[in-house]
Structure 1
């Protein structure tokens, strides 16, 4: 039983590899023979639906973006594989001929192809006038904000410099006044001491004379 299951598994893998190889070859040949080119321009934020026409050989459906497979459905293998580049891309397996892209962004621009119908869309994304004006207005706003910030910093620098200068000037003036008082104090003390010595010598010679009587 295990040998039988192993053989079935190997056979299935061989069939899948063969089908994938055949599909790649058929896609390469069909890709070189695109039957219809469609130029499509949409605005950012729109929802786009790409319709792939039905063909007589409409067994396997394949969608590609810029030559990379993003969706493949094989009814024979009863298998569906997706490799979308964005969560905004969607294909309903029941309606595999329609590729929907919601909220279109600039990164969604490129070439979209479907097989076997061999249709290619050249999708171009553009921004609306409002978005363009918004982007154009961003630069002047940045310049205005930068200029205002520079003016504010310059004013604060000037105010701080004036405050520091006045503080330093007041401290210097205070030290000078204090220095004059201290310089005069010793002088007055020496004069009083000399007067006292003079009166002492005078009293010793002429008698007790007070400073008041002398004055």
Structure 2
């Protein structure tokens, strides 16, 4: 039965908390996908052990062993292609990917970013959000293109910014929502409801002009 589910390859560089959320959702049947493999560019990434404990095949493609990004991405692409994935999920994968890699997986490559895109692209999003004095922060899942954190946004989860928040406190609040947000998006892709067409997000064949909201999507499901 599981072989009929959409095969997914997940790329990580670190602890793999979003990976764990996806493992749990797939294992429970909450999302109709099969995690075929987990790949890391760092041999010591703790997330690899999470995958092994779940019985998922792991690979390391160590970027330090390649002379440049192009050769690394070619090796990474070959590793992923061996599993013929319907979706490639970046879950804390801390490498900027080459245009050739992105084009190869176009429409089936997604990333999660800890901000309400297009705000605060890049790093240190929580510190920057606090400095900017925003009242709302969150996380976004988007299709990957050749613009850093600039691909079409699929869905977002929002959190309030509290007076006196530290970056660590805000980060923890956002991360909790990430663990709900990523499975929700992967689930939509796994059912075939979500796709990218001519750089536009489509849900049930209709264009998504404004990013979906996680909480609103849940409310709609309950009402229906």
TM-score (structure 1 length as normaliser): 0.18
- Larger helix percent: 1
Of structures 1 and 2, the larger Rg is shown by: 1
TM-score (structure 2 length as normaliser): 0.17
